[in-house]
Amino acid sequence: MDHEFRKRGAVAPPIQYIVEGGHRLGGAIEPSGNKNAALPIIAAALLTEHPVTLENVPRIRDTETLVELIRSVGAAAEWRSGNKLAIHAKEIRAADLDPVLCARIRASILLAGPLLARCGEVSLPPPGGDVIGRRRLDTHFLAFGQLGATVTATDRLEFRCARLKGADVFLDEPSVTATENALIAAVTAHGTTHLRNAASEPHVQDLAHFLTRLGARIEGIGTNTMVVHGPAALGAASYSIQPDHIEVGSLIGLAAVTRSPLRIMRAGVEHLRSIRMGFERLGIVCEVKGDDLIVPSSQTLKIRDDFGGHVPKLEDQPWPAFPADLMSIAIVTATQCDGVILMFEKMFESRMFFVDKLISMGARIVLCDPHRAIVAGPSRLRGAPMTSPDIRAGMAMLLAAACAEGTSTINNADQIERGYERIEERLNALGARITRVPARTG
C-alpha cells in the first residue's frame, strides 16, 4: 500500500494517523540520522567528481525529493541496503530544476552552492518547505555576493560566477542554510574565506566534517567563525550522518507525556546539553549511560519556578541554546506538567499557531502574540481531529494524541513524515497505537 510509495520514493497520496491515546510506552529506540544534516550533505556531494557513500541517511520525503533533484542535474544516486545512499556526480549540468520538486522542500536552496561551484551558474525556483513564518533568503544572497557571485531574484533565483573567490564574509544573521550554502561554496573558492556570525548547529558541524572528509580544509568547526582554505582538491568519501538531536528531544517529550520509561540508544549526547536543560525546567530529568539517554518513568513533571517564585520562561535561540525546532514539542510537554511557564518562540512568527488545536483538546494555553504563549498545567487532554501544519507541530500533535483520552485523527500527516522516518512503525514497536491510513477525500 502506501508504505510502498515510501520505499520507492514516489509521491504518496495524502495520509492520516489515527491515534488511540492513553497507552504507556517502553523499550529502546534509536534516533534516525539528522535530516537537517543529510540534506546539505547530499547537496554537497555534487562538489566532487568522485563517488560518495553516505550512511544513516533518513528515508523521509525531504531526502527523497532532494535525491530526485540531484538526479535531475545529472548525478547518479542510488539507495542501497538500509539507509545507505551512493552518489556519483561525475558530470553535472546547471539544468532548470523542477519547480514542483523545489516547492516541496526548503532544502532545494542548498543546491545553489554546489551548482555554482561546479557549473558557474544556477537557476532555482523559489524553495518551499514549512509554513512557519517568513524565511528570508537575503543572507544567502549576501554571502554569495561577497564570494564574487551575482544574484538576481525575480520569479527564479539566478546565481552566476565565473570563479568564486575567498572573502571575509559576515552573515547578517546566523542562518543555518545560508551558513551551509556559504560553506559549500567557500570550499571551492580561490583563497581563504572567513565565515563570521555563522550558525553552529550540530547539522552544520556534520556538513563541515563531511567536507573535510572530501578534502576541504576548515578551521573553527562548531564555532561562529569558520575559516575555509580554498580551493580544495576534493576526492571520494564515505560518511555516516549523525543522530538527529531534534528527534531525540521529541522522544524525550513523548516519554514524559505518556509517563513511559524509554532508552534512546546512540543519542549523540554531546549535543543534548541545552535540550536536557530545557526539559529539566519542565521537571524532566534524563540519565546518560555512555552514548545512550535514559528517560525514567518516575518524573516529577513539576515546572521549576525562577528564583524568588517568578514564572519561568523557556525560549529558543541560535545554537547552542534551546533549538527552535523543539518549541512545539516543549509546549505540548508543558501541558502535562504542574505549574505555569511562558514559552517564547523568537525565530518564526507562525510556529505557535497550532496551539488552538491543543486548546480544543483541553490544554490551558494563552496565546499572547505570534511569539509567546503561557501554558498552565497539568491538563487532561481529549482526543480530537487535527491537521498538521508543519513537521514539528505535526510531531507535537502526535505527542498530544498519544497522551490524550480517546482517539485522535491527524490529517496531513505527510508533514510529519518529511522529518521523522517510519515514525508510526517505530513508536508502535514501543507500545503506541497509531494506524496509518490514506486520507479521505471528497
Residues forming the active site: 130
Please report, for the chain, how many H helices and E strands are present, in that order.
15, 23
CA distance 185 to 114: 6
**Nearest partner of 130 among 321, 302, 288, 353, judged by Cα:** 353
Strands 339-344 and 262-264: unpaired
- Can you tell me whether residue 435 is helix, strand or coil? strand
Dihedral, CA atoms, 341, 347, 351, 352, nearest 10 degrees?
30
| SS3 state at 430 | coil
Greatest CA separation for the chain: 64
φ/ψ of 427, rounded to 5, equals: -75, -35
208 Cβ neighbours under 8 A, 6+ residues apart:
183, 218, 221, 226
How many angstroms from the chain centroid is the CA of residue 205?
Answer: 14
CA–CA separation, 244 and 203 (whole Å): 8
- Please give the distance of CA 147 from its chain centroid, rounded to a whole number: 27
Grid coordinates in use for 378? Answer: 497539568
Task: Extract the runs of DSSP E, i.e. beta strands, from 379-433.
Answer: 385-387, 407-411
Contact predicate 333/399, CB 8 Å: yes
Q: Which three cell numbers stand for residue 126?
A: 523559489
d(CA 188, CA 117): 6
Joined together, the cell numbers standing for residue 106 give 526548503
